[in-house]
Amino acid sequence: MSEQDGSLTGPPAPASARVEALDALRGFAVLGIFVINIIGFSMPEIAMSDPAYAGGGPVNDGLWTVAQVYFYGAMRGLFSVMFGAGIVLFTQRAIYPDGPIRVADLFYRRTIWLVLFGLIHGFVLLMPGDILLIYGLAGLFLFPFRILTPGKLLCGAVVAMAFLLATVIPQEYAEYRLGGDAMALEAALEDGETLTEDEQAIVDDWSDNIAPPTDEEIAAMIGARTGDLATLYETNAEAVADANGSYSLVWWGIDAAMMMLIGMALYKWRIITAERSLKFYFLMMAIGYGAALPARCWMLWTRWDADFSPILWLPWAVDQPVRVILTMGHIGLFFVLWKLAASSLPMRAFGCAGRMALSNYIGQTLICGILFTGVGFGLYGQFDLAQVYSIMFAVWIAQLSFSLWWLSRFRFGPLEWVWRSLTYWRRQPFRKGITPADKGIAV
């Protein structure tokens, strides 16, 4: 592809520089997804969609609004983009010493272990919103796509998005109609009218599946998360099983694969390797934010204006393409900052956090499990959003500091070392300054 295509602006950057940029962006993503995940860890799920359940008041409402506009869905998208880029990077690196057959074996072994990590993360470590299982399952299907051109990869992403929209729009419209019918029937009940059996079924369906939770239901959620270990595991297993049914796995797997295909294309275009100009990334940021942030603000305003009514007809289909565009804006912003301060302490910290992304992601679950569930302090539902985000900020600082300290002494993060050893089916070198030959380790 020529420079006139706008894809390349000179010779490739050194491999170490490209990997450092990817690591730093991955670190930014793994900390960014915590902005939304910590809400699910610390308070009832309804707090993600209605700020009244996140504490209320100007400060909490403001924080909730920023999270919804700037972070919601986009950081998950960015993390998926990085996983897709990692597929290309891993297969490119492995193919030279190992050959094409060996690299396929390594890739699938690595991906199957990721599926196992996801199952442990969800069912044992009590993370109902785990993404590792989804990424592993999606990754199993993406290996053949690594050789496609960037244009074909983007076409694949468009097809995936079209499938998602085609399945979701009818479902969301049916829920909207159900809500309207149910509320009309509830009003009729209040006027003293008697409902038929079919009409009562509509009201029951609405109450059981879509309507906001009652105070009693919220109290039950808090009791389940802060109760004894048996209760906690039972309710969490139900939540994980519901979230990972066959339909959900297929749907979320395609959603993840869509962003992974974009990540593979961006890697091949040398966009997420910091190899473009500062002007390129500034324009990427300006276009991404200029298109996505006003759309996000408008969508959120309609929800505020409707007092967060669950029957507001604002389909997810509107937000899905906006989420993708916002993710591109995040990438542009990050690499503007990278171009200006690549060697700074914050960027080095992001890079270390990115090299330990698996350890940090699961570490967030462990920390929140200790803080918020009955296994530890049982603080679930006790804090408003401002207090929760104070905890989040402390976790960010701790993980960035720990990542810097750990990687100054060890070659890999703790879980990355386990994953790598399982992938190659032999113990990998761990401490810095000790070569494989010194330890008798074959790599």
Tokens of 108: 């699938």
H or E, element range at 319: helix 316-341
Tokens of 124: 């044992």
Q: Please write down the HEC assignment for all residues of 176-207.
A: HHHHHHHHHHHHHHHCCCCCCHHHHHHHHHHH
Identify the band that residue 313 occupies on the pLDDT scale cut at 50, 70 and 90: low
**C-alpha–C-alpha distance, residues 368 and 357, integer Å:** 17
**Burial of 81 by CB count in 10 Å (0-12 exposed, 13-18 middle, 19+ buried)?**
buried
Q: What is the pLDDT of residues 229-241, one digit of tens each?
A: 888 888 877 777 7
User: Worst-scoring range by mean pLDDT, 105-114, 256-265, 317-326, 384-393?
Assistant: 317-326
Q: What is the pLDDT of residues 118-167, one digit of tens each?
A: 999 988 888 878 999 999 999 999 999 999 999 999 999 999 999 988 88
Identify the band that residue 55 occupies on the pLDDT scale cut at 50, 70 and 90: very high
Identify the band that residue 3 occupies on the pLDDT scale cut at 50, 70 and 90: very low
**C-alpha–C-alpha distance, residues 366 and 125, integer Å:** 7
Residue type, 408: S
Report CA torsion sign: 331, 333, 339, 345.
Answer: negative
Q: Do the beta carbons of residue 129 and residue 37 sit within 8 Å?
A: yes
Q: What is the pLDDT of residues 178-229, one digit of tens each?
A: 777 777 887 887 777 787 888 888 777 766 666 678 888 899 889 988 988 8
Over residues 81-92, mean pLDDT: 91
